[in-house]
Amino acid sequence: MMDSAFITVLIAMLGGAIRVSTPFMFVALGECLTEKSGRINLGLEGNLVLGAMVAYAISFHTGNPWIGVLAAGGSGLILGALHGYICKLPKVNDIAVGIAIMSFGTGVAFFFGKPYIQPSAPRLDAIHLGDWTGNSALAQALQVNPLFFVGIILAVAMSWAFANTRWGLIVRMTGDSAASARAMGVSVDWVRFLATAAGGFLAGVGGAFLSLYYPGSWNQGLSSGQGLMAVALVIFARWDPIRCIWAALLFGAAGAIGPSLQSVGISQGYYFFNAAPYILTLFIMIASARSKGAAREVPGELSITK
């Protein structure tokens, strides 16, 4: 009996990892790109919430959730570009701007999102990968949204591009030594602007996943700080896109602990287990800040490390 309960929990955690990790993945990849260029965008929480709202609204009006996803990306792109533009102005602090953008994004989302809390919009469909197993729990866990795969492909592509393309090298160069980049005739502000805008796009897509797939509705408590945690996750992943994926999966699995324990009848400490991702964030931050490798891999231009 204990065994099967344990397996149920494991399967639920696997399902959770796949389901919950996707928005983390997109926000973390977006932040990774921005930070590689030497700028921090703490406003991605705003992009995430606004993306969720826009995706839901557009999906409701057009009837096509994928147009909603694109629109969410577009809204994130605009917020990211706004951050990038403001930071180009002299003597502007990217961290302060990020916090302002976060409030701005969530505020705009709540303002325009009011009418969309009630109606039901078409959602994204999942790919059923586990139906052949004949095990209903496993089948449910293996219902995977295509965005999950998009995220993984994107991480691999980013990782490759950072090493093998001119753009990748220029982004890394700008992030590590603005002086060198300038000496080479690269416009540092422009590279960072583009990287922030592109990062914002990804965070917006992450938001679309929240409202159109899991949890799959639009309300004001939808994100609960996932965008901020994803920023922490990038530090944990040491600015490596592939490691961002592993970190996102880990966070997703941790988030599934509470509900899955409840599903096997362990309801004690439910809120404690629900807090697992946050506790994990805290410990990961402490551990990675102390880690010796982190100091070496951090982009040299980031304002937190200068």
Interacting residue ranges for another protein, rule: CB under 8 A: 164-167, 169-170, 172-173, 175-177, 179-181, 183-185, 292-293, 295-297, 299-300
CB 36 within 8 A of CB 181: no
SS3 state at 127: strand
Residue 264 is encoded by which pair of tokens? 């096997």
In sequence order, the 6+-apart residues with CB closer than 8 A to the CB of 55 are 65, 68, 69, 71, 72, 207, 208, 211, 212
Considering the complex, what minimum distance in angstroms separates the CB of residue 234 from another protein? 16
Residue 236 burial (10 A CB sphere; 0-12, 13-18, 19+): buried
Closest to 75 measured CA to CA, from 167, 211, 174: 211
Considering the complex, what minimum distance in angstroms separates the CB of residue 184 from another protein? 6
CB 54 within 8 A of CB 65: no
Query: What do you get for the CA distance between the two ends of the chain, in Å?
Result: 55
Residue 50 is encoded by which pair of tokens? 């606004």
Considering the complex, what minimum distance in angstroms separates the CB of residue 239 from another protein? 10
Give whichever of 127 and 304 is closer to another protein, judged by the CB atom.
304
Considering the complex, what minimum distance in angstroms separates the CB of residue 103 from another protein? 32
Considering the complex, what minimum distance in angstroms separates the CB of residue 238 from another protein? 12
Give whichever of 120 and 165 is closer to another protein, judged by the CB atom.
165
Give whichever of 90 and 185 is closer to another protein, judged by the CB atom.
185
Considering the complex, what minimum distance in angstroms separates the CB of residue 176 from another protein? 4
Give whichever of 89 and 183 is closer to another protein, judged by the CB atom.
183
Give whichever of 2 and 179 is closer to another protein, judged by the CB atom.
179
Give whichever of 165 and 224 is closer to another protein, judged by the CB atom.
165
Considering the complex, what minimum distance in angstroms separates the CB of residue 33 from another protein? 15
SS3 state at 143: strand
Give whichever of 36 and 83 is closer to another protein, judged by the CB atom.
36
HEC-encoded secondary structure of 20-61 = HHHHHHHHHHHHHHHHHCCCCCCCHHHHHHHHHHHHHHHHHH
